[in-house]
Amino acid sequence: MASMSIAYGGVLAFLFRALNAVIAFAIVVLVERASDFGAFGLGITVIGIVTASTGGMTASVAYQIANQGRLAGKTLLSGMVPMSVLSVVAILAGFIGSAVLSGDVADAAMPVAVAGSAIMLNSVIAGVFLGRGAFIRYNVALVAPPFFSLVVIAVVFFVLNERTANAALASYAAGQWLAFGAAFVYGRRQLTSSMAFEPRLSLAMVAFALSGALSSVVSFLGYRGDQFVVAGFEGKEGVGVYLLAVVVAESVWQVSGSLSLATYSRIGAATREEAVELTARVMRHTIFLLVIACGLLFLAADLIAMFVFSNHAMATPLRLLMPGVLV
């Protein structure tokens, strides 16, 4: 029954993450036709760094609920307070950056900061869903932000006819905030029961989150920081081509990420020996699936470049990325 439960959770998570990947593709395809796509790519990379850093808080919230048996409302508020402070700091930094800096960086500073602030708050809600093993609610919380961003970008592009990188980033930020509000309303019964703020719990969650955030950011920079190197050598146009390849290459991690999500609350509630055995078993299955996925993308690089993006230049960097993604 445990294997069936994990398998069901893995399939469910994969379907949602596949939907997430499709939405990400749609955003890239839509914005690619706008002016200055490379600037949008760099802005999204910075937002990705923020997203990676908030994964530690999501894990911290989930751990307190799944492993320590904390009440959802109490854990939510104890995590939301420090993340709200960080959100305010982010918006102030964006405001200062837009006033002090110049060029594309100044234009992107505020939209990136606003998007990051919403992502910080949404990470706490997602952690509550994950800790309670509410896979559907958790996965909806993951899919909703890019979906709302896609909708707002489409409205701004086609209704308001504003097709610039800055307009796309501002629309992306608006979508993140809409998703945060929708996630809170969607899970209000789980989120608002027994709400209370515990300073000690909050500090413990922040300490746990910092270690997770550090590892996540280092990992993210390991496979996304090279976009800044590309920008230095090839300019924003090169970033645009490379971003297309990266988006396709990263799609294979939807497989491994799905199995990880399906086992998270179970591992958190298990003994150390059981958790080690389950983690090893999931990793063996993950490697087998990733070999197949990476091989297919390597072979289909030209077809993807031609028929999906109409950009032949991205086929070569996609092939070059696949072995590293697999490893």
**245 and 206 in a common domain:** no
**206 and 165 in a common domain:** yes
Who has greater pLDDT, 288 or 147? 147
Who has greater pLDDT, 186 or 160? 160
Who has greater pLDDT, 12 or 175? 175
**277 and 188 in a common domain:** no
**210 and 129 in a common domain:** yes
Last residue of a domain, one of 216, 246, 262: 216
Buried b (16+ CB within 10 A) or exposed e, 81-113: bbbeebbeebeebbeebbeeeeebbebbbbbbb
SS (H, E, C) the chain: CHHHHHHHHHHHHHHHHHHHHHHHHHHHHHHHCCECHHHHHHHHHHHHHHHHHHHHHHHHHHHHHHCCCCCHHHHHHHHHHHHHHHHHHHHHHHHHHHHHCCHHHHHHHHHHHHHHHHHHHHHHHHHHHHHCCCHHHHHHHHHHHHHHHHHHHHHHHHCCCCCEHHHHHHHHHHHHHHHHHHHHHHCHHHHCCCCCCCHHHHHHHHHHHHHHHHHHHHHHHHHHCHHHHHHHHHHHHHHHHHHHHHHHHHCCHHHHHHHHHHHHHHHHHCCHHHHHHHHHHHHHHHHHHHHHHHHHHHHCHHHHHHHCCCCHHHHHHHHHHHHHHHC
> How many angstroms separate the first and last alpha carbons of the chain?
32
Determine the pLDDT at residue 5: 57
**77 and 18 in a common domain:** no
> How many folded domains does the chain comprise?
2
**Coil, helix or strand for 164?**
strand
Mean per-residue pLDDT for 153-180? Answer: 93
- How much is the pTM? 0.74
**171 and 252 in a common domain:** no
**232 and 103 in a common domain:** no
Query: Tokens standing for 211?
Result: 């270690």
Structural domain that includes position 241: 1-33+225-327
**173 and 257 in a common domain:** no
- Nearest partner of 176 among 216, 125, 106, judged by Cα: 125
**18 and 62 in a common domain:** no
pLDDT digits (tens, 9 = 90+) for 257-281: 766 766 766 776 778 888 888 888 8
pLDDT digits (tens, 9 = 90+) for 306-321: 887 777 888 999 999 8
Which of 147-156, 191-200, 249-258 has the lowest average pLDDT? Answer: 249-258
126 — pLDDT class (breaks 50, 70, 90): very high
Determine the pLDDT at residue 229: 82
3 — pLDDT class (breaks 50, 70, 90): very low
**131 and 43 in a common domain:** yes
pLDDT digits (tens, 9 = 90+) for 97-125: 999 988 878 888 999 999 999 999 999 99
**281 and 255 in a common domain:** yes
Last residue of a domain, one of 199, 216, 233: 216
Determine the pLDDT at residue 261: 65
pLDDT digits (tens, 9 = 90+) for 56-85: 999 999 989 888 888 888 999 999 999 999
